[in-house]
Chain A
Amino acid sequence: MSEEKGSDKLIDFKEVSVSFRQKKKEIEAVKDVTFSVKEGEILGIIGSSGAGKSTLLRTINRLQAVSKGEVTVGGRSISTLKSGDLRKLRSNIGMIFQHFNLIGSRDVYSNIEFVLLENGKSREEAGKRIDELLKYVGIEDKKHAYPAQLSGGQKQRVAIARALANNAKILLCDEPTSALDAETTEAVLNLLKQINRELNITIVLITHELDVVKEICDRVVVMDAGRVVEIGDVYDVFTRPVSEFTKTLIKKENKFVIPGNVLENARGKIIRIDYFDENAERALIAEAIEEFGVRINILHGRIEFIKKKPVGVLYISVNGEPGQTRDALKYIKENSGKMEVIRDA
């Protein structure tokens, strides 16, 4: 067997379409979707609201039936499963939600106990397992609290414990951090990463927050109006998006503009450099100054890390002899990911 993460297709969508009838109008929420989720990976699905992400996610445990096409989980087509087998499949697929969806009339213990008893565990077995789970997600002290007494982050931890209770191999996450503040989001994402790594659970996560995808996903699927418009490694998709929709999505998020007065006051040519991959770690500006004797002033810049690899944007002004400047720009262009002349003075 290959050592590489995710060599097997765990979930496979083949030409999947989902349509609803709403007031005599046929609405196609998911259109002809084909891709697969590899075992052990964290796959993100992004897109604007109404793009069909949620509907697509729900076809994996058949909370949503498909109208056309086929979904296979672990090599088995799920559309023909009888109710007993369907319940078994569902117990192997955990699911968490934006609004946690805990049972309000039951305390934490009883919320988790319910799904354990439903899957044939005895009360004693369930009790042991619940202690284990609560310890794992870090809320042992809330065992007998009711959902209404918990914070958002604590509720999501309980929901995660419940989703993993029956040793799920797959965890579906429906906007798991969209109702949480930044700090709690970070903590929950770290927990999901830990679950993926330590328990080898495949995670399929939908979100509209690009930061969530950058933070934890291995691969990303971009959806627009029910279709998959792009799929690939997270770093590649964010640094070199192919589809127009993805480009706009990323641009919207990166409202990285340079203030007008900075532009006015700067002298010389103004350049925007996008750098990624191996280029991101080079001392490109220093090299250009040294090599061509130009004066370079950094006007604005940012660097971030996706999957521990840097991605950056830099606005600089270049002054110097015309020939030198031209050569310097050529050098920068050849050695950076992307270069754009903002003002050619």
Chain B
Amino acid sequence: MLESFIEIEDKLIKALQETAFMTITSLVIAVILGIGLGIVLFITSEPLLSKNTPVYEVVGFIANTISSIPFLILMIFFLPISAAVVGTKIGSKAVLVPLTVAAAAFFGRLAEASFSDVDKGVLEAVISSGARKSHVIFKIVLPEARISLIKNITVTAITVLGFSAMAGLVGGGGIGDLAYRYGYQRYKKEVMIICILLLIILVQIIQKLGGIIVGILYKKSGG
């Protein structure tokens, strides 16, 4: 196993870099877009803010539609759009577009749930004090939901990592691609195992990191 490890060390490092690039970049953009999506879903469903059922239904339908398409198919479907947005149909960059869209739709629903869990009583209290709606959202709802948001970002990061393993199909590379090409197509069982171990370690790191941040936030608010 050690020999095969040394043999593919360079490839492994490259794959790790590709995976990190795809996961981190699309996660960051998806979190920003997803929070926006979550806010729209939240305020259009909340009578204390700007309840608007038609808007909620339409936006929610779009998010659900994206989430219901398997990522592999979404990725292929998005190729022309990727070309228009990032200028290429192949490689890690091309995968960013479908990866971000899928992650944003996924995270948007989770963010909506995080916002909905914010104590309605707190909302009532600040609205009854004459606060602006925009301030209620950005200064109260977002900070109050932060712990739940971090937990959901952790879940999303792990999902995105999983999605990124399919990037090989369009030449995106990454650990999943390495496992497929060497481990499966060239019958190098050891490479497969190394890749799986690496993915397990990555998931553990993400989970741990999320846990640490949540712990710090809890402590800060005296809980």
Chain A contacts to B: CB under 8 angstroms: 61, 63, 87-91, 93-95, 97, 99, 101-106, 114-115, 118-119, 145-149, 159, 162-163, 165-166, 172
Contact = CB atoms under 8 A, between A and B. Distances in A.
Interface string B131-144: 11001000110011
Contacts of B125: 95, 97, 101-103, 159, 162
A61 B130 CA distance: 10
B222 interface: yes
Contacts of A163: 129
Interface string B104-135: 00000000000000010110111111111001
B130 A90 contact: yes
A101 B132 CA distance: 18
Given A89-B130, A101-B124, 6 more contacts: A90-B130, A99-B119, A101-B121, A105-B221, A114-B131, A166-B130
B119 to A, nearest CB: 7
Given A91-B130, A118-B135, A101 B122 contact: yes
Given A103-B140, A146-B221, A149-B222, A90 B146 contact: no
A118 B122 contact: no
A97 B48 CA distance: 16
A93 B132 CA distance: 15
B70 interface: no
A149 to B, nearest CB: 4
Contact of A148 (B124, B129, B222): B222
B223 interface: yes
Contacts of B124: 63, 95, 97, 101
Contacts of B126: 103, 114-115, 118
A162 B130 CA distance: 12
A181 B219 CA distance: 28
B222 A93 contact: no
Contacts of B127: 63, 90
Given A101-B122, A103-B140, A103-B144, A118 B131 contact: yes
A119 B127 CA distance: 12
Given A105-B146, A148-B222, A162 B121 contact: no
B212 to A, nearest CB: 18
16 contacts: A87-B130, A87-B131, A87-B132, A91-B130, A101-B119, A101-B125, A103-B126, A103-B144, A104-B119, A105-B143, A115-B131, A118-B129, A118-B131, A147-B222, A149-B222, A166-B130
A61 B132 contact: no
Contact of B122 (A89, A91, A104): A104
A114 B139 CA distance: 9
A61 B128 contact: yes
